[in-house]
């Protein structure tokens, strides 16, 4: 005799649907993680102003003199697009006027005083224009817009050490060029080499001093890595520390995602004091695919860069021979090419017009070792030419990049697959539910 009560068995709907759903969910989560990946590289962050304190151009002069009325309006025009702000400090006594550049950490570089400080409007404007931008700083900006980064070699008096540094830089550029196509955001051109000769240091004192170095001639060569708007990566490297391994590891940082596990201080180096006008800003937006001046972009990148590492153990150089794909290669000498091409290293020849051999002023000036020594700002324009006694840059060019960023294309594809997959899972579940309901009444 059967019981009048029927026993309810668990519906097979849940068990049948339970199997495919976890797998589909994992696939959707994977695509979502790709879609939400960091869209900025360390190189990208260099084009964004992080809100750091600007350089200060301080004029100390008697309050009763004409200096304030002369220099304040001239500075407002000349420094409009520069990360330099003008400040007037009245002298407590009737001392001579002094114009100096002051860093946020208190370092001070005296530029002119009394006899060398122009007292007329055309002279003041010319002086301020040369403070706002120089030939080397202009070359740095142009190179960082089009190339992966800039390697600035400041030569010393030791020619053998200069040659060793040059060889190490060439090898590092060649190695990083091979890694660039596999980086998150490939760049069309490898790092560019700019060379500053000892005789040009006096004329580029603001550039060298702004990068954290003393603008004086020394024996050993010095190297500074720059990216973005002229932001310095890490500390300057000098003498025997200039090696292919160290240079390549540091350059590889520039190609990493901005949210990778590295010490954020690598992305907080100082910006060289210089003008960055609207034309360069528009160029940067075209190259990067986003506007670095957009408030949302600045907020997002500032949050990433300024938040700092969460683990003190991460405060190390993020790059080893293994994870950088580094290997030792024998660099065979190549035949000389009369046409160095677009990626040839640039030497900046800022030497003034030749003078008479009897003229004592024909010798290149050597600035005082003290950072506070008077350093007149020159008027000489820059010219560029390939190094005649060195091999051309053999770094291969990566394949030209299309207008569409590969990461953006992958992200859009991930969103499409995410949407299609979600619809497919819902439709699959609906059909299984209707089928099970029909079978079990």
Q: What pLDDT, on a 0 to 100 scale, did the predictor assign at position 38? A: 59
Q: Please state, as a whole number, how many other Cβ atoms lie within 10 Å of the Cβ of residue 440.
A: 10
Q: What pLDDT, on a 0 to 100 scale, did the predictor assign at position 380? A: 40
Average pLDDT for 236-248? 96
How close are the terminal C-alpha atoms of the chain, in Å?
24
- 5-14, pLDDT tens digit by residue? 444 444 444 4
pTM to 2 decimal places? 0.65
Distance CA 112, CA 118 (A): 9
Residues 6 or more apart whose Cβ sits within 8 Å of residue 340: 386, 392, 393
* Helix axes 406-439 and 20-35, enclosed angle (nearest 10): 160
Q: What pLDDT, on a 0 to 100 scale, did the predictor assign at position 374? A: 45
- For residues 131 and 86, is the Cβ–Cβ distance under 8 A? no
> 112 — phi, psi (to 5°)?
-160, 155
296-298-303 Cα angle (round to 5)? 100
- For residues 100 and 108, is the Cβ–Cβ distance under 8 A? yes
Task: Quote the distance between the C-alpha of residue 180 and its chain's center.
Answer: 15
Domain regions of the chain by residue span? 12-40+406-439, 55-131, 135-331+341-355+364-385
Q: What pLDDT, on a 0 to 100 scale, did the predictor assign at position 266? A: 77
> What percent of the chain lies above the pLDDT cut of 90?
45
55-131 maps to which CATH number?
A: 3.40.30
Average pLDDT for 256-278? 81
Q: Please state, as a whole number, how many other Cβ atoms lie within 10 Å of the Cβ of residue 348.
A: 22
Beta bridge partners of residue 147, listed in sequence order: 189
**125 has pLDDT over 90:** yes
Q: What pLDDT, on a 0 to 100 scale, did the predictor assign at position 294? A: 84
DSSP 8-state symbol, 182:
G
* Tokens 């026993």 found at: 7
* Tokens 């300024």 found at: 306
Tell me what percent of the chain is helix, strand and coil, each rounded to the nearest 5.
40, 15, 45
- For residues 153 and 194, is the Cβ–Cβ distance under 8 A? yes
Q: What pLDDT, on a 0 to 100 scale, did the predictor assign at position 331? A: 47
**What is the average pLDDT score of the chain?**
75
- 304-332, pLDDT tens digit by residue? 776 655 444 444 444 444 344 444 444 44
> 416 — phi, psi (to 5°)?
-65, -45
Q: Please state, as a whole number, how many other Cβ atoms lie within 10 Å of the Cβ of residue 433.
A: 15
What separation in angstroms does the CA of 65 have from each of 71, 78, 121, 369? 11, 22, 14, 32
- 286-307, pLDDT tens digit by residue? 988 888 888 888 888 777 776 6
Q: What pLDDT, on a 0 to 100 scale, did the predictor assign at position 184? A: 83
Q: What pLDDT, on a 0 to 100 scale, did the predictor assign at position 65? A: 80
What separation in angstroms does the CA of 100 have from each of 61, 67, 121, 345? 11, 14, 18, 33
Q: What pLDDT, on a 0 to 100 scale, did the predictor assign at position 435? A: 82
pLDDT confidence of 186, banded at 50, 70, 90? confident
- For residues 371 and 219, is the Cβ–Cβ distance under 8 A? no
For 39-53, 62-76, 123-137, 201-215, which range has the lowest pLDDT when averaged over its residues?
39-53
Which helix (DSSP H) or strand (DSSP E) does residue 320 occupy?
A: none
- For residues 210 and 272, is the Cβ–Cβ distance under 8 A? yes
Average pLDDT for 21-39? 48
């Amino acid at each position: 005799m059967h019981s009048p009560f029927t026993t309810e068995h668990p519906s097979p709907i849940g068990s049948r649907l339970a199997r495919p759903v976890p797998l589909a969910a994992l696939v959707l989560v994977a695509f979502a993680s790709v879609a939400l990946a960091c869209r900025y590289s360390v190189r990208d962050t260099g084009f964004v102003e992080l809100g750091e304190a600007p350089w200060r151009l301080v004029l100390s002069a008697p309050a009763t003199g004409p200096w304030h009325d002369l220099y304040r309006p001239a500075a407002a025009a000349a420094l409009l697009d520069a990360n330099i702000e003008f400040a007037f400090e009245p002298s407590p006594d009737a001392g001579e006027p002094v114009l100096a550049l002051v860093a946020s950490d208190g370092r001070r570089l005296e530029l002119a005083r009394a006899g060398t400080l122009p007292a007329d409007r055309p002279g003041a404007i010319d002086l301020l224009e040369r403070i706002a931008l120089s030939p080397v700083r202009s070359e740095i900006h142009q190179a960082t817009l089009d190339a992966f980064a800039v390697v600035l070699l400041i030569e010393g008096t030791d020619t053998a050490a200069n040659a060793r540094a040059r060889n190490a830089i060439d090898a590092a550029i060649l190695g990083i060029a091979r890694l660039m196509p596999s980086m998150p955001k490939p760049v069309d051109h490898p790092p560019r080499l700019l060379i500053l000769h000892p005789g040009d240091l006096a004329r580029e004192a603001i550039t060298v001093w702004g990068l954290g170095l003393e603008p004086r001639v020394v024996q050993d060569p010095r190297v500074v890595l720059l990216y973005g708007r002229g932001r310095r990566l890490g500390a300057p490297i000098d003498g025997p520390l200039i090696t292919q391994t160290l240079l390549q590891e540091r350059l590889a940082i520039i190609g990493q995602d901005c949210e990778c596990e590295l010490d954020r201080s690598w992305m907080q180096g100082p910006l060289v004091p210089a003008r960055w006008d609207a034309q360069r800003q528009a160029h940067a937006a075209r190259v990067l695919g986003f506007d670095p001046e957009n408030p949302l972009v600045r907020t997002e990148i500032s949050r990433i860069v300024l938040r700092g590492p969460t683990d003190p153990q991460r405060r190390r150089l993020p790059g080893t021979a293994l994870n950088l794909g580094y290997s030792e290669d024998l660099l065979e000498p190549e035949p000389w090419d009369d046409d160095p091409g677009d990626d040839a290293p640039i030497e900046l020849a800022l030497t003034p017009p030749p003078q008479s051999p009897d003229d004592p002023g024909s010798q290149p000036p050597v600035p005082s070792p003290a950072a506070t020594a008077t350093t007149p700002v020159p008027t000489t324009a820059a010219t560029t030419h390939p190094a005649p006694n060195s091999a051309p840059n053999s770094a291969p060019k990566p394949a030209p990049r299309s207008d569409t960023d590969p990461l953006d294309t992958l992200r859009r594809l991930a969103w499409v697959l995410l949407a299609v997959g979600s619809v497919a899972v819902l439709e699959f579940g609906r059909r299984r539910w209707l089928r099970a309901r029909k079978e079990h009444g």
